[in-house]
Chain A
């Protein structure tokens, strides 16, 4: 049953890319196609990050603990769209002029922070496998908290690149903020005296249950 859902979610996450491809084939990307591709891939990177961060709060609120099985896929899709977004910039904006690219990343804060957001996702993607989760043990959880930094950097990247209309970046900022706030609150609640001494002993760690 869950496997079936996973296939559905996998395909659903490819739809934005499919739509871009379809529109490109039909010359339906408007007057500035490369701008549309850059913006769409960027938007979906942020959205996938938000979905990924929403899994744990949703699990805890709805008690649908099997939702954890989708977290890795969503996180990897965030990395996927982020990579497409960055490739579009490298290829169609800078045409692989590495000199210019390095200058841009150094000189333009919004690019620095965007590049940072993507770079953070690299070790997370590399350690997303079952083998890596087992090998890293407790350290895996600590490493993967970096996803918060990636999400925040992504929002700042968006906020710093818009000319004047900050509504969309602020919207993502609020979403990421709420999801982080939830975690802070639940962390704090777990430390309240009323909750001490209670062992919520899971059979396997949340991370492990993703892959098993």
Chain B
């Protein structure tokens, strides 16, 4: 095997062969993905919304955890690249009968899979798969445990670049449940790699522990301090299970302190954009008038997400291990 020990996502020439995490990806690789996504954005507006780059390839969507939206955007992206897409609802199939992850992969590889798009509750599951597939097979992490959600991170970077052009003079505030969020982790790695001078992690102590400072972010336990003069505000979804886990008093209490309302948004720069990975909980982390307001770019994020996933899939499938 010629796998790069330090970064299994890159081949010996430094080219992307899997997308597992944004952590450790060189800036040039991230920028190449964003540039390529720009080309694909226009493909989605053509009369024929399809290009033949993945013609004859089989992409298996392996979702060990449910996610209709992410799975759908991967499916659309693969189909617009002319791939054949097979969706497996693993949560309800062989694994439930006791088959191991690697046995599942071995069986699907025997069906001549060319790419696996994997979402798994266990951090690191896509790495394990990438280590065991044949050299021509590629793996995309569609979210693993609390670890990473690299395509969401990349589409967030695409969105920021689209609206703000330059990363090197921005203040970006990520608000909410940072500690459990793979989106936050991927965003932080991407933002620091792209040269954003100030990244803030904003939320209560239970969800934004002080040791996040090690990732190069400024930790704020006060919402006003956290979003003041920000250029970009990324709101995270508050997962209901956190309420029962005694990490938060109540949804109402959270909204009062950290929910994004028009009044709080007024503290940010007048041209600040508001992002959210979805699905949004109106009235829990974000007020409806903000989610639907003029500064919200939540729906463009979804559109950009397809182009970014097309870019990732076409780049990795064009590179050899």
Is the A/B pair a real complex? Answer: no
